[in-house]
Structure formats: C-alpha cells, structure tokens
Structure 1
Amino acid sequence: MSLIKRFAAACLLAGVAVGSVAQPYPSKPIRLVVGFAPGGATDILARVWADAASRELGQTVVVENRAGAGGAVGALAVAKAPADGYTLGLATVGTHAANVACNPKGGYDPVQDFTPISNLARTPNVLVMNVDVPASNFAELKAYIAKQPPGGVRYATGGTCGVHHLTGAMFSSLIGAQLTHVPYRGSGPALTDLIGGQLELFFDSMPGSIQAIQSKRARPVAVAWNKRLDSLPDVPTYAELGLGAINDSVWYGLVAPANLPADIQAKLNQVTRKVMAQPDVQARVAQTGSEPVSTTPQEFGAEIKKALERLKAVVQSQGIKFDTSGS
C-alpha cells in the first residue's frame, strides 16, 4: 500500500474512533426518575419538563416513577446512577430536605451525591379535607377535630418523613390536637382515598389536588403561599390563620448524579431556562397552581442546603422519628 493510501486509511480509522467516543450529548433517550407515584404534583411537573425538554434536546426524556419511602427510593436510584447525563432526577423539598432531615441514614446525601441543575417551579402547599367532613373552613374544622377522640382524625401525605408529613406534625402541634398520620406512596393514591372517604385530611402540593378542588371532590382549608391564590381567593393562607410556621411553599428542581460533566450540566441548565420561559410550558405549570422558575445550578444548590437545615430544626423540635410503615 502506498504511503498516501496508508495515510488516508489511518485518517479514516481515526475519524471513526473519534466519532464513536465524542458523540454529542444527548445521543440516546434520557431517563427522568420521579420518586413518587403517577398523578401527584411531582409527577405532573416532571412530565411538563420532560415533554418540552425532549423537543429541545432532540431525544426523548422518559419519566420513570420509582415510588417509595417518601421519594427516597427514586432519589437513591439517581444518586447511584452513572454521571453521564442519561439519568436525571426530579428533586423536591421532600426528597432533598425533609427525608434526609428525618432519616439521615437513608443512603444518600442531598448535597454531596447530586449535581444541581436548576429549579423548575415553586408551588403552594394546600390542606384539603374530605367533602363529608362537617366543616366549611378552618375554624369549623378545628372545632370538629376537638370533638373527636385523640388520633381519631386521619391525615394523609405522600410518604413518611416527607415535607407534608412534617407540615402535618407541626399543624397538629400548633392547633393542640393529636392526629393520625397515614403515609402513602405518593400523593395520587392518597388523594384517591381522601375522595373515597377513607381519610379526613390531606396535606399536599397544589398541582396534585387542584383538579379535585376545582371539581369540588375535595374542599380546601388553607394554602401555604405569600398571598391568597388568584385561583382560590376565598381560601386563606396559613399565615392568616395564625399558623405562619407552616406557611412555606415547596420547590421542584432538576438534579443529576454527583460529578456530572460541567458541559452537560451547563447544557441541561440552558435547556431548562429555555423551556421554562416558553409560554405553553408556563401555562401548563400555572394550570397546576405552580409558579415556573429557573435558576443557576449554584442558586439551586444553595436552596437545597437552606431547606435541609430548616427541616432538620423542625424534625428536632417535633421529635419526629423515621418510620417505614406505609412507605
């Protein structure tokens, strides 16, 4: 073989080798792990982002529900996945603050084991009750609870040690009542049982309960937000009811396993900022009762740390212990 032909062949082989290694990201479908059952607030927002991001990335983003332990099962799956950008997670105040504050031996560190990408939405919390409960507002609900035996009124949440569990525990303490916590594998199944009459109360994020509220299958009692919601103008905030200690909204954000390459982190953040600014995405997020946002990875990382420290203090003050029942 002549020198020219050997050189051409070497260049061709080098091109094939380089092409096989340096494929542009993403070159295959991406998995977005949600640590809760389908139908709940986290799942809804994950699918809104996944649909829009799929169009921008040119690859399908597949939502995978890995429910259990208040979102810890899904979070742990993300933490242990390869840091290649093909496994992402939907982080919440529950998975990355409340869960770990309540159970520090849960198997993952919300700061060290993840790469923050961006916040996606801030969402009001809401307390809803079964429509057969003989109360139409907070004062009447409080009076009803006072007439029941200790633990006779049950409240559902999307999981043990989740943010709504901590909210429910503080709510019980603030009104001076003993309520029974009933944890579920996500807010979807909990809402189903609330509507079916198996429970009296449900602490949730607005996206998971908004349709039930609008269709009058569940009755809202209070919301956690900085003002009354335009969609629920007659429903007071917790702060208005003298329960300012639980008037905190929640957030949802995008994370990846620790040590994600900086260029992939930057691309996912850029895509997130773009899709969260799109009118159709903003409309879909707003329909769930949430407020679309996007942040830098550094800002989102700082928010995770702040929520973790705040909820560690709540767990300590309420004496909450980790319990796997129902999770």
Structure 2
Amino acid sequence: MTMKKLALAIALAAAATAAQAQSYPTRPIKLIIPFPPGGATDIVGRGVADQMSKVLGQAVVVENRGGGGGSIGADVVAKAPPDGYTIGVSTVSTHAVNPACNPKLPYNPVKDFKPITNMANVANVITVNPNFPAKNYKEFLALLKANPGKYSYATSGTCGFGHMLGEQFKVATKTFMVHIPYRGAGPALNDVLAGQVPIMADNLPASMPHIKAGKLRPIVVAWNKRIDSLPDVPTFAELGLKEPNDPAWYGLVAPAGTPDEIIKVLNEAAVKALHDKGLADRLRQAGAEPSGNSPAEHAAEIKKEYEKMQRLVKVQNIKLEQ
C-alpha cells in the first residue's frame, strides 16, 4: 500500500469512528457489575445506570456477574467488543487488589481497560467491639505495640480490601495483628459484633449502622477529612499514615480499544447523571460520595492503587492460599 493510500485508509477509518460516535448509542448498553446484587458496588452501579439511561436516551441494562472477588465480571468486560455497548464497574478489588494478589488473572487492570470515570468514593474504617480495652486510636495503637500478635482482625476474606487495609495499617504502624479471613463481610461482622474477633477493617457504610447503635467503636477512618457524623474519629492522614487513607472507589470502564469519542460520550453522560440531585442524595445516604472525574484521572487512580497493592503484597508476602 502506497503512503497516499495508507493515509486515505486512516482518514476513512477516522471518519467512520467519528460517525459511529455521533450516532452512539443506537441500542441498549450493558453494564457489568462484578458483584452480586445488594452490596455497595451494586447500589452505586445501578443508581448511575438508571440516570445514565435518561441522559443517553438508551437503556443502560445492569448484569450482575459475581465471583472471584469481582474478577469474573471484570474479565467479561475486558474481553467484550470495544464498541461502547459493554462497560463495567471498576473497584479497588477488581483493578488493584485482585490483580496484585493473583498475577495469573486473565486480564491486566491497566492495559485491558479504558477508564470512563470514578462514580463515587467510600470511606473505610477500623472498628473494635465495644468490650475491647482501647477506647480511642492512641490507646488502640499502644495496646497493639505492647502485645504483638495477641489481637486479631476480621475481614471479608484474604486479598479483600479490608485485608489490605489491615496490612497497610500494620506496615505503617509497625504493629502485628493476626488476620482472620471470612467468606464475606457479613460473617466477619457478625463475629466482631459477638466478640469472637475484637477488630474489623471494612468500609464505613457497612459498619455505620452498628456504630450508631453502639455495637461497634470506630478507631480510625480512611477519608480526606473527618466524617461529620464521627467528629471524634481521626483519619489515617492526620495521624501521619497517608497510604491507608485512600478511600475505596467505584468507577466505570470500557474494554481497551474503545474509541475516545465513545468514551467521551459515556463520561459526559455519567458526570451529568452524578450531578442529578436525587441520585447524589441516594448515594450519600448509602455512604458514597459522588465523584465524576475525567477518564485520565480515573486511569491515574487505578494505576496508583494497583502499584500500591503490588508493593504491599510483596512486603507482606500475601498469598491467596493463606
């Protein structure tokens, strides 16, 4: 092919892509939520999907594909045609923790996706059973330092984000707690409430009802400022622990190779959806703070979290079979 013909072919391809983007979407869009219905990922994803449907004039149809800590659903998105008609929810689990813990996953969290936006952020928290002897962070830290290995903390499972939060805390404070993994946050929470395990690392929305009821005592939160409803509970950052202070996030991604013009349409629709007062209020009531950043900003969030989790897995020698 001559240079002139090559240039013409490129121009025609670009024109076809632009025309596709101008008419996009012409049919329903599938949104893969990589966790079962009812959890925080599902609440955020469904809320945004419903509002995006109104903005785009085409249905954004939710399909829950749970399993493998979110990796099954994420792989479906990675392998979908890059035409904008299959997108997925990105989470710290699917795009940072799981790939860092399991390099054999069938997808790469950075190379196999094209980020659209961060839909919402959620605070994380370390809590204790009310009978735990420490009443605040200062006492909590002193107790752990004086008794290495005596206390244990519960999480939703090995290589879940709660596990990684606990390990980040241990590294940052040079303390040692024993990790007790469960098959989900529900069973872990039940044992902490019952006093079987004294400490838990989890997201704040799941813990907040029990905190309000006096059944859990919050020790420290991962957020950019003190939580209004927990004014006496410090953030990791103000204690000098910056790495554990990053929140959990719920984003939107498309398969790698999706045209930039389509990503732009999806980003603008998602951002407009998140500016809807009704949706924003519902997300906040569920404990999630709406975001709506640019594709480049969400790409940077994914890369930063993935690299941080890779370092943590190496330092703490974390293995899925533990």
Tell me the residue number matched to 2:205.
207
Match status 1:315 vs 2:284? no
Distance of 1:284 and 1:78 partners within structure 2: 27
* Cα gap change, 1:140 to 1:268, in 2 (>3 Å): same
Match status 1:293 vs 2:288? no
Q: Please tell me whether the aligned partners of residues 54 and 60 of structure 1 are also in contact (alpha carbons under 8 angstroms).
A: yes
Shift of 1:151: 6.5
Tell me the residue number matched to 1:58.
57
Match status 1:46 vs 2:45? yes
Distance of 1:41 and 1:91 partners within structure 2: 12
Q: Deviations over 1:7-66 (max 9, x none)?
A: xxxxxxxxxxxxxxx9851423x3322233444332222222122223223344343333
Shift of 1:236: 1.3
Greater mean deviation of Cα atoms: 266-275 or 83-92? 83-92
Distance of 2:219 and 2:244 partners within structure 1: 14
Q: Please tell me whether the aligned partners of residues 40 and 208 of structure 1 are also in contact (alpha carbons under 8 angstroms).
A: no
Distance of 2:142 and 2:45 partners within structure 1: 38
* Cα gap change, 1:131 to 1:55, in 2 (>3 Å): farther
Shift of 1:240: 3.9
Among 269, 272, 277, the residue aligned to 1:271: 269
Tell me the residue number matched to 1:97.
96
Distance of 1:52 and 1:46 partners within structure 2: 10
In our comparison, the structure showing a higher alpha carbon Rg is 1
Gaps of 5+ in 1: 1-21
Q: Please tell me whether the aligned partners of residues 125 and 203 of structure 2 are also in contact (alpha carbons under 8 angstroms).
A: yes
User: How many residues are paired up?
Assistant: 300
Greater mean deviation of Cα atoms: 260-269 or 227-236? 260-269
Distance of 1:40 and 1:197 partners within structure 2: 24
Query: Superposition pairs for residues 84-123 of structure 1, below 5 Å?
Result: 84-123=83-122
Query: Superposition pairs for residues 211-290 of structure 1, below 5 Å?
Result: 211-290=209-288
Query: Superposition pairs for residues 3-42 of structure 1, below 5 Å?
Result: 25-28=25-28, 30-42=29-41
* Cα gap change, 1:116 to 1:154, in 2 (>3 Å): same
* Cα gap change, 1:242 to 1:306, in 2 (>3 Å): closer
Gaps of 5+ in 2: 1-21
Tell me the residue number matched to 2:14.
none
Secondary structure at the aligned position of 1:232 is classed as coil
* Cα gap change, 1:103 to 1:294, in 2 (>3 Å): same
> Share of identical aligned residues, percent?
46
Query: Superposition pairs for residues 59-78 of structure 1, below 5 Å?
Result: 59-78=58-77
Query: Superposition pairs for residues 116-131 of structure 1, below 5 Å?
Result: 116-131=115-130
Normalised by the length of structure 2, the TM-score is 0.80
Q: Please tell me whether the aligned partners of residues 86 and 254 of structure 2 are also in contact (alpha carbons under 8 angstroms).
A: yes
Distance of 1:69 and 1:196 partners within structure 2: 28
Tell me the residue number matched to 1:8.
none
Q: Please tell me whether the aligned partners of residues 206 and 288 of structure 1 are also in contact (alpha carbons under 8 angstroms).
A: no
Q: Please tell me whether the aligned partners of residues 152 and 198 of structure 2 are also in contact (alpha carbons under 8 angstroms).
A: yes
Shift of 1:120: 1.1
Normalised by the length of structure 1, the TM-score is 0.79
Distance of 2:217 and 2:250 partners within structure 1: 25
